[in-house]
Amino acid sequence: MTQDELKLAVAKAAIHYVVEGSIVGVGTGSTANFFIDELASIKHKIKGAVASSEATAARLRAHGISVFDLNDVSSMPVYIDGADEITPQGAMIKGGGAALTREKIVASVADKFICIADGSKLVDLLGKFPLPVEVIPMAQSVVMRKLNAIGGEARLRLKDGQPLLTDNGNVIIDVHGLQIADPVAMEAEMNNIVGVVTVGLFAKQGANVCLLGTSEGVKSLTF
């Protein structure tokens, strides 16, 4: 199976976690896009969705799915999103799509985080995928120095030769070369750096379930 076929398989499997009559939290990225397209087939059964990015909101609306502001939502049964890496314990690296802060906020409101990913995303040790950190622009240089001191190589993420800006107007610093043995501790350490908005480690509050696409079918991991 191709990677896209695996992503489609887990997107279809995730539909079973959607609670009828509820609002669904929806993530950002290529796997989440497959889920949005599948969600359209049952849009008459849900109240709507909360989007973790402007791109996700636009895709939901294009399918005729109502998009709610999170400030108007007190609870959600599930948040469904992909991951750049996930461990057998449910800790994740996210933020390849630069939506890490909004993803973490929306996920914090949901009762369950359902991670959907192809099998290549399952790793024993986080860090091969560069760790995204969202940073206030004026703090870029000082934060990069402090991230380098932790042991990685901090690089400003660019798009078309210019700093990529998030939906929040901030920059992304990707930290390369990390081996994250204690993701909960590293999440706390990086989040405490002044100027950091959030780090793309979802470890203190990781996934509850991972639907993993493999050549043998969709495997369900529960944490």
**Residues 23-59 pLDDT 10s:** 999 999 999 999 999 999 999 999 999 999 999 999 9
**Residues 145-194 pLDDT 10s:** 999 999 999 999 999 999 999 999 999 999 999 999 999 999 999 999 99
Q: Do 87 and 63 touch, CB atoms closer than 8 A?
A: no
Question: What does the alpha-carbon distance between residue 6 and residue 94 come to, in Å, rounded to a whole number?
Answer: 19
User: Above 90 in pLDDT, residue 131?
Assistant: yes
Active-site annotation holder among 103, 134, 153, 187: 103
Residues in Cβ contact with 170 at an 8 Å cutoff, skipping those fewer than 6 apart = 101, 134, 135, 136, 137, 197
Helices (H) and strands (E) in the chain, counts: 6, 15
User: Above 90 in pLDDT, residue 210?
Assistant: yes
HEC assignment per residue over 168-186: CCCEEEEEECCCECCHHHH
**Residues 65-117 pLDDT 10s:** 999 999 999 999 999 999 999 999 999 999 999 999 999 999 999 999 999 99
Determine the pLDDT at residue 1.
87
User: Above 90 in pLDDT, residue 125?
Assistant: yes
Catalytic annotation on 103?
yes
Question: What does the alpha-carbon distance between residue 124 and residue 17 come to, in Å, rounded to a whole number?
Answer: 26
